[in-house]
Amino acid sequence: MTGKTQTSNVTNKNDPRSLNSRVFIGNLNTAVVTKGDIEAIFAKYGKIFGCSVHKGYAFVQYASERNARVAVAGENTRVIAGQSLATTQGINVHH
């Protein structure tokens, strides 16, 4: 443990502000990549309110729409654990 505060797992709020502040991360090798890895990679774009990891994909909930937009631009097609990420802003998926 690094002593860092864990973020929430909540990334499924449906209000427009939350939707626009959310990043979907697809094509994710979740057999290797952890929630902590995702948070470490995406924290440089702004305050993360929540992060949830599922088989093959993840969501990051930011404090603002701007944070999400910059994260998508910065991380789309980045290769992590041998796979090229597909990032999108504002997706509403029930998970």
Q: How far apart are CA 26 and CA 14, in angstroms?
A: 20
Question: Tens digit of pLDDT per residue, the chain (95 long)?
Answer: 344 456 777 677 677 778 899 999 999 999 999 999 999 999 999 999 999 999 999 999 999 999 999 999 999 999 999 999 999 998 765 54
In a domain, 3, yes or no: no
Query: What range defines the domain where residue 59 resides?
Result: 24-89
> Residue 34 is part of a domain; what is its CATH number?
3.30.70.330
The pTM (predicted TM-score) of the whole model is 0.83
In a domain, 4, yes or no: no
The reported pLDDT for the residue numbered 3 is: 41
Counted domains in the chain: 1
In a domain, 33, yes or no: yes
* Strand ranges (E), 7-94: 22-26, 48-54, 57-62, 79-80, 83-84, 86-89
In a domain, 40, yes or no: yes
* Distances, alpha carbon 80 to alpha carbons 63, 66, 88, in Å: 24, 23, 16
Q: How far apart are CA 71 and CA 45, in angstroms?
A: 6
Residue type, 24: F
The reported pLDDT for the residue numbered 64 is: 95
